[in-house]
Amino acid sequence: MTDLVYIGRALLSVSDKTGLLDLARALHDRGVELVSTGGTANALRTAGLPVKDVSEITGFPEMMDGRVKTLHPNVHGGLLALRDDDEHLLAMAAHGIEPIDLLVVNLYPFEATVARGGSYDDCIENIDIGGPAMIRAASKNHRFVNVVTDVQDYTALLAELDANDGATTFAFRQRLALTAYSRTAAYDAAVSAWMADTLGEVPRRRTFAGTLAQTLRYGENPHQAAAFYTDGSNRPGVATAKQWQGKELSYNNINDTDAAFELVAEFAPEDGPAVAIIKHANPCGVATGATLAEAYARAFDCDRTSAFGGIIATNQPLDGPTAEKISEIFTEVVIAPGADDAAKAVFAKKKNLRLLTTRTLPDPTAPILSFKQVAGGMLVQDKDTAGLPDLKVVTKRQPTEAEMADALVAWKVAKHVKSNAIVYVKDAATVGIGAGQMSRVDSTRIAARKAEDAAEAMGLAAPLTQGCTAASDAFFPFADGVEVLAGVGATCVIQPGGSMRDAEVIEAADRLGLAMIFTGQRHFRH
């Protein structure tokens, strides 16, 4: 097995020219011959570096607007030839093919073109052909060829050359090849996903790709290895946020922070401050208020016990008074679309609290895919981005204006609670949440018990479920669930409807004096 490979000749062809000149100078200083194409060659020549155009190697000029320049045996032969195979060496000599020991390529900015909303023709034009072909050739022949596809690896390459007197080790080339294959796979995944989205098709083969953001200490549990990858979508949230302080986010932190920010985004900032508190991916308190501090206090009061060590998201930039309130208990993460200096100063005293800020809120209605691994496959679906549906009052009693407002809040929150989900809301604040139960009746009882505990913690004579509105993420299969809701003080219920026993459920609501609203839309979340 060949180990050390000395670099005598390098082909550089990059779209992203970050660090290019420093790399090229360092290679030239080490006696490496530089070969290049188009704009890359011009940049090197302008910097005073000697460079040979690839057209001198191929004997053909770059043509068809640069679409055809490196797809030639003199290039691919130099990349693919096995240096310990006599027949390969004879073929190289017979056809005047010189070896290429280092390929430095990054691809046309297809992903960036899609992200900025490029036209169909613009996106097609930014699909690289020659680059992936060369990368795959060099990667396949990594016994003899180094392939660099990421600017981040320039420094590592030069350090490797310094450590081995101008050569690289096989292990180093293996790692470069892995990075290169991962890059072309991600690139093709981006193209195929864009095509599927553009055509509105379900592709025969579905691929997903991401860029490593960080390796994590562990996954959900210490015995599970984990890493965090970003998908390049630039959606506001934990993947694109700036972390101001605190230790590295854990797997569970990232998962819960995403859940919190996606929930609070349901509340438009122009409609007033809103705060969501998440624990183990479920809301334990959500509220609006005249100020962020008030919204936080009302969300906190829903379940003070669960809020300890939770994740907090706000729909408006964080201010000092709100930060002061949050700092009264231990909190893992706070994420907000901005934070003022006063808030940052308050949190600076809490070394274990992570503060994340984003440029804005995510659009809760933007189409996006979600996927879940199962044994032997992957489930893929549109994310639940449905907004408020057409509402239908099905009981004799119409909801009051206040009940209708609370119903809309409860419905937004129920969308983010694990099924079976029951949410009690009073005056635009959750007062009880029941999540993740096998029986919907159990969820109603757990939510009621949470409300009783909250009332005791606040020294109230009765739970705040008295006069509340309840939301259910799916229909009530029997009337018993509605009877439990009425028993804890709910006066209005919002639910999808659609049960075989809807008539019995509506009759029970009428008998108990409840107003009931059907949405015709459910929000299962498993």
Q: How many residues does the chain have?
A: 526
Q: Which of 17, 28, 88, 140 is catalytic?
A: 140
Give the bridge partners for 285, in sequence order. 277
Q: Which residues contact 482 (CB under 8 A, 6 or more apart)?
A: 476, 493, 505, 508, 509, 512, 514, 516
Q: Which residues make Cβ contacts (< 8 Å) with residue 360, sequence separation at least 6? A: 236, 337
- Do the Cβ atoms of 396 and 513 come closer than 8 Å? no
Q: 3-state SS of the chain: helix, strand, coil percent to 5? A: 40, 20, 40
Alpha-carbon dihedral sign for residues 378, 380, 383, 388: negative
176: nearest Cα among 201, 226, 203, 142: 142
| List 28, 52, 280, 344, catalytic entry | 280
At position 367, the amino acid (one-letter code) is P
- Alpha-carbon gap, residue 272 to 292, rounded angstroms: 9
To the query of whether residue 95 is one of the catalytic residues in this protein, the response is no
Closest by Cα among 298, 334, 300, 299 to 319: 334
Please state, as a whole number, how many other Cβ atoms lie within 10 Å of the Cβ of residue 317.
Answer: 15
Report d(CA 219, CA 92) in Å as an integer: 50
d(CA 310, CA 346): 18
Report the candidate in 88, 68, 87 with the shortest Cα–Cα distance to residue 78: 88
The span from the CA of 277 to the CA of 303, in Å, is 9
- Reference 307, options 450, 426, 504; nearest CA is 450
Cβ burial of 397 (10 Å; 0-12, 13-18, 19+) is middle
Burial 148-173 (b: 16+ CB within 10 A, else e): bbbbebbeebbebbeeeebbbeeebb
Question: Annotated catalytic, 416?
Answer: no
What is the rounded distance in angstroms from the CA atom of residue 209 to the CA atom of residue 22? 30
How deeply is 471 buried, as exposed, middle or buried, from its count of CB atoms within 10 A (0-12, 13-18, 19+)? Answer: buried
Tell which residue, 475, 479, 474, has the closest CA to residue 514: 479
List the catalytic residues: 140, 280
